[in-house]
Structure 1
Amino acid sequence: MNLNTMKEQLPEFNGDGNINEWLLVVKNVRNVFKVSDDVRRPLICSRLNGNANFWLSSRPSLLSGSIDLILAQLKIIFGTKDNVLEMRRKFENRQWQFGEKFAIYYIDKPTLAQDIAMTVHELVQYLIDGIQNVQLKNKAKLQRFAVPADVLEAFQDVEKPRAPVHQKKDARKVFINRCDPGTEGCQML
């Protein structure tokens, strides 16, 4: 397999981006191209720059070790320091935003969940729970989707309603003249 072709598929990592997303791409490149560690090692080293490259260069013993060890060490050094509770809060708070394509929401929500232990069924429930429109959410619940891909298939062409427009109520009270026989004046309704 051509190393340049694989390089095109693997973005550079400088230590500032999301290490989990980058490691997922590394894993996918390995699975798609079916390459050995001897091929992945120079590929990964060539895609590290900035702080990540400096870190690896300062540890020459890692270069001769297992590629999985290098990747695990990269994750420890450059991974987020969020605790599990904070990661779960970010995941739970992610909702399908007004005007956003469902596919963007669909990609983002499971990405936030990748380090949180949950079943596929729970992920489906959370995807549905993040739909703000009550009618769409209720329709999704009725479908009883089995896997997240089913939710994407059902919602990929659904246009997200715009944000509700809140009308300002006039602070003035409304008076209606209503004259009852035998009484003078008007009543306030």
Structure 2
Amino acid sequence: MSAMLRHLLLGVKVRQKLQNCVWIKGEEFSKYYNEKWQLADNLALAEDEFLEYVIDGIHDVNLRNLAKSRSFKTGLELLDAFRNVELGYVPKPKLPEDRRAGDY
């Protein structure tokens, strides 16, 4: 029983890290996407759930809304669409544990 509880708690921690991972200014979208992919690798997420995590990590409201409106079916479609997009200034998110403090 305690092994199962540890496994569940680990899954919760990984999901929190996945949620807190955000796209930062000056970072290529592909690097951000791959970091999300690595965090999600052990969670066995459905493609649409993974895409929600990726899109929610885009703090520029216009870009996030654009990504949501395009209704991407796969991560590769999203990655291809945002490959050459640069993230402008966005306010520092108020997260309990910033992915990289001060890199906004």
**TM-score of the aligned structures, taking structure 2 as reference length:** 0.75
| Distance in structure 2 (CA, Å) of the matches to 1:163 and 1:144 | 23
In the aligned structure 2, how far is the partner of 1:111 from the partner of 1:129? 16
Query: What does residue 52 of structure 2 align with?
Result: 125
Unpaired runs of 5+ residues, structure 2, are 1-8, 92-104
Superposition deviation, residue 125 in structure 1: 1.4
Q: Could you say what secondary structure the match of 2:33 adopts?
A: helix
Please state if 1:162 is matched with 2:89: yes
Q: 5 Å matches for 1:53-68?
A: none
1:41-56 paired onto structure 2 within 5 Å: none
Q: 2:62 aligns with which of 132, 135, 142?
A: 135
In the alignment, which residue of structure 2 is the partner of 1:109? Answer: 36
Please give the secondary structure, in 2, of the residue aligned with 1:87.
helix
Q: Any runs of at least 4 consecutive aligned residues in structure 1 with deviations exceeding 6 A, and if so which?
A: none
2:21 corresponds to? 94
| Corresponding residue number in structure 1 for 2:4 | none
- Equivalenced residue count is 83
| Aligned partners of 2:59 and 2:90 also within 8 Å | no
Rg bigger for which structure?
1
* Identity across matched positions, percent: 37
Q: Distance in 2 between matches of 1:163 and 1:152?
A: 20
Q: CA deviation at 1:86?
A: 0.8
